[in-house]
Amino acid sequence: MGRAFQQALEPVALPEQIIRLEPTDELRRVVSLEPVQDIGPIDVAGSVASGSESQPQEITDLEMQGNQVGQFRILPLTQSMELEVRQTGQQEQRYGLKNVIGHITSSTPPNLSEVYVQEDGVPYLVVRNASPEYDLSATLVNFSGFKYVTEKVSREEMGKRQQPISFPIDKLEAGQRGSNNTRASGRRGSP
């Protein structure tokens, strides 16, 4: 507990602990947390033809209220499906991976498929059918994690002894194609 992207799905913070939302550096105290089991299965994009991809799909099931933040793991349930996780639904042509957070497949280790959500800043998923031979009739994904109810805290209220726990709102640690390093460089990655 206390760190993102752990092997076991554990809350990043417990009630009364302070979290620091990245990249804004906003401090919040966790008032309560609630386990969220199995949002889904959600059919993200319906059917996807062999070798093609869907349009970005907003995952509104993960929306949080104004005082809530969420920690979720994405579990692809359909084989031969690759998920591209984006911060927004738009794709800038000049910087092809600017909005891409990471890529997930059914073989991605679960701890590398965590996303962090604040309010309506939900991820968008693009589904790629990796099969050269078969169409996908459904593109099923499951989510589980934690919902945190929080309150804003000033640095003075936090005190000098307590270190805030990092809560990476816009990051996904996926070692698949299009890693965070490639996203940060603004260059298109190679498959």
Q: For residues 30 and 148, what is the distance between their CA atoms, to the nearest angstrom?
A: 6
> Is 189 part of any domain?
no
Count of the separate structural domains present in the chain: 1
> Is 143 part of any domain?
yes
> Is 188 part of any domain?
no
Contact 150, 29 (CB under 8 A): yes
- Of 102, 105, 108, the C-alpha closest to 170 is 102
Contact 124, 88 (CB under 8 A): yes
> Is 190 part of any domain?
no
Cis peptide before 15 (omega within 30 of 0): no
- pLDDT for the residue 48: 92
Contact 73, 94 (CB under 8 A): no
- Phi/psi region, residue 184 (left: phi>0; alpha: psi -120 to 50; beta: rest), is alpha
> Is 65 part of any domain?
yes
pLDDT by residue for the chain (191 residues), tens only, comes to 555 556 678 898 999 999 888 777 889 999 999 999 888 899 999 899 998 999 988 888 888 888 899 999 999 998 888 998 887 655 444 444 455 678 888 888 887 888 888 877 788 899 999 888 899 899 999 999 999 999 998 888 777 667 888 877 754 444 333 333 222 222 233 33
Residue 83, domain CATH = 2.60.120
> Is 10 part of any domain?
no
Q: Tokens at residue 14, please?
A: 């417990």
pTM, to two decimals:
0.76
> Is 34 part of any domain?
yes
> Is 122 part of any domain?
yes
Full residue range of the structural domain in which residue 127 is found: 18-176
State the DSSP H helix or E strand holding residue 62, giving kind and residue range, or none if neither: none
- pLDDT for the residue 89: 52
